[in-house]
Structure 1
């Protein structure tokens, strides 16, 4: 079935771009689960679509468009009459045969989950050039497992994409409570067509989640706090403030980042949104809230004053719980080295949580080499084994157990993990780079890798300086 659907997707991709072909198939999957009405209701349904004859002409294409136009979720859930056909591709001429075959294939299967997963992977690959990839399954399991959502939690993804992290949160809790979890899942997405994909993803899986109207999450603070925040953030996002965007359109002189409760001490850099995202997430956490997000390596060890002072404030507030250095090329279609950050507003031992008090301590995990090759590909992935190893290490450090079993003991492991006090981190210039703490035993290979890592950090620092100089130069030129 998967191979058959992929063949028809390939045919559609010759008539329209691959991204639109995949979204069209996602629309059919959505219709197979949602386009149902009482007989005589006078609306196009999935059963009606299944009954459409094969053949050429506009009949089947018109029927698909009519059904999608009636049933697709709106861009804004408060304006359901608007529909979403404006962002759904129209079936092209010549697609009649593939459309009919896809409808029959989808209608003949009881389990659309594997088809949905394949479509989302294909869609992620289709739009990789724009860096709009979706979070890989193993990375989603790692992020959710590190956040440990509970039944009843309020969970937010401010850059939700297809909604994969929220879907994984629902699965994680459902497996532990054995029932449909009573969670409030909320997602925000800037792009309308991706927001639509997220809504379809939740609907096909039968998951209740609220996707906000398309918009920029950084435009304003979150109006309420959340127990769990998960985010696969855009790296080194430039021109992120509304003021910068306005300046670019009007060519006005640069203005400072405006005052905001998210950054009461110091505004983030205008040239990169990295520190703005971290402060946005920290500000939205509940008193015992936890956040897990992906962040470019440079933020963990940059000597740029603004970034260094941000790390200092996070450590003084005892917010940082764990930083994990990830292997290169395992977070999607980017080669940028990255770390996984875990923030926790309450690291104390308490009922329902870990038995170890980890206040004023941070766990560093050096998982740079924890990857496996993807079969028949040059790509890499974390894989189930490495994901489980990282989560087991973090759970042992927290003193966290499941199913009533005693918590596993934690011990530092050379080259893998190390628990450090915030005082030691302060003595090291507030660096949060795991490879500087969980250091591998001496060896010629390790010395070479260490030198490469050092060169990468130095190059990242030079890039930071270049961005600052560019902003200063542009400001001077505007004033001339």
Structure 2
């Protein structure tokens, strides 16, 4: 099976198993509805028999997913579960047995999504790596009762992590209002199942282009990993009277700044946002880009910009930054005790990566993510543990610096951390880093060449 179909099947099976467990925990409830919706135990019993298993799996999973995937036009997503020929019966039996005896099916679920992300990354439909998801959520620190938005939600990983973050810190079932939007219908189905398998409720709605119109409400927390440098993002020129633009209409051939203004407009009076952006969003020289950055700085919306290591995404080699926006940087509960109005924190975490064993890929190092958060929390005046006195923040020219918005304006509103917090390197170190960068560029070219050759062979075979 292709990765997309395999992922759909695994997510569906995990969902059925989890719903069965929920019904067992609720005394007196029907154990999954043995009529129209065969329970998980029935499927496990069927897997122990020699009869063909595919039809039973499709019947069971489809019946449980119908209410989850039903859309406004009544489509219950019957085609979500792929055809399962007898040749996969043995693998189905092993899969059902593994899911049935697993203590933490969430780990299986996340591995499944990671493989799907890698498989479809070249089409731009990748999912945010878990290490970056955790960093983004911890940086904005959602609180119980918050309204949370991800306008380009993918597999809904950021929404799921927000729920886990609040649940672990409160010890209670979170009372969050989760809202997600996604343009691609297939990916939206994956998001629905990802949340349903975890028992998380969210409003995802139908497939929608978030940039087409302003958000329908304001939110306490907004998080997004939009496509980098998306061209031709608007079918028509952006309207001057759109409340998101307010005299700073973003360029039509690159959506980076449109996303930034879209997210800012969706923030509540004390709202916070975390968004991943290509480096160009922090350095673009066109007048429209400069005006938008000047507006963000002038309105004191930019809290922090973190330069992340290159090579964290398998589909793109360009460097990117994590932007943190904030409507209110004055001291208040849930954020910090230090007044940071009219100030911006820059963190240069370019070297905070580690190689993934057995691959050429990188990931954000755990100690690197911890150092980013420690720096951010010290700057805000947040204790790292309950009852602890907040650490005192200090500039480190090799890692971080805090500048006034006036200083940022004097620097031409360039917001790239490597400009403000540049780690000095001797000649040997600089040469080694340059070789490392060239190596990654060459790997990317090899992969691109392989993909082009594969596509060309397929076209020739079809002639």
Normalising by structure 1, report the TM-score: 0.83
Aligned to 2:388: 405
Aligned: 1:433 with 2:397: no
In 1, distance between residues paired with 2:68 and 2:18? 19
TM alignment of 1:238-317, pairs within 5 A: 238-243=231-236, 255=237, 257=239, 259-317=241-299
Aligned to 1:44: 38
The equivalent position to 1:396 in structure 2, one of 378, 382, 396, is 378
Aligned: 1:188 with 2:181: yes
Aligned: 1:23 with 2:16: no
In 1, distance between residues paired with 2:56 and 2:172? 38
Q: Is contact 1:139-1:331 (8 Å) kept?
A: no
Q: Is contact 2:58-2:81 (8 Å) kept?
A: no
What's the secondary structure of 1:223's corresponding residue? Answer: coil
Aligned to 1:122: 115
In 2, distance between residues paired with 1:53 and 1:143? 41
Aligned to 2:330: 348
Aligned: 1:443 with 2:426: yes
Deviation at 1:78, TM superposition (A): 5.9
Aligned to 1:4: none
Deviation at 1:364, TM superposition (A): 0.3
Deviation at 1:73, TM superposition (A): 5.1
Aligned to 2:459: none
In 2, distance between residues paired with 1:314 and 1:345? 10
Q: Deviations over 1:352-410 (max 9, x none)?
A: 43121111110000001111111222211112211110000000011112412111000
In 2, distance between residues paired with 1:294 and 1:187? 17
5+ long unaligned stretches in structure 1: 1-15, 244-254, 453-480
Q: Is contact 2:62-2:80 (8 Å) kept?
A: no
- Compared with structure 1, are the counterparts of its residues 239 and 367 closer, same or farther at alpha carbon in structure 2 (3 Å cutoff)? same
Deviation at 1:328, TM superposition (A): 0.3
What's the secondary structure of 2:53's corresponding residue? Answer: helix
- Compared with structure 1, are the counterparts of its residues 85 and 266 closer, same or farther at alpha carbon in structure 2 (3 Å cutoff)? same
5+ long unaligned stretches in structure 2: 24-29, 436-463
- Compared with structure 1, are the counterparts of its residues 130 and 54 closer, same or farther at alpha carbon in structure 2 (3 Å cutoff)? same
Please report the RMSD computed on the Cα atoms of aligned residues, expressed in angstroms: 2.5
Aligned to 2:56: 63
Deviation at 1:333, TM superposition (A): 3.4
The equivalent position to 1:384 in structure 2, one of 356, 366, 375, is 366
In 2, distance between residues paired with 1:377 and 1:94? 31
Q: Is contact 1:77-1:212 (8 Å) kept?
A: no
Q: Is contact 2:153-2:224 (8 Å) kept?
A: yes
TM alignment of 1:73-472, pairs within 5 A: 79=72, 81-243=74-236, 255=237, 257=239, 259-401=241-383, 402-441=385-424, 443-445=426-428
Q: Is contact 1:75-1:214 (8 Å) kept?
A: no
**Aligned pairs, number:** 427
Aligned to 1:477: none
Deviation at 1:225, TM superposition (A): 0.2
What's the secondary structure of 2:233's corresponding residue? Answer: coil
Aligned to 1:33: 18
Higher mean Cα deviation, 439-448 or 108-117?
A: 439-448
Deviation at 1:180, TM superposition (A): 1.5
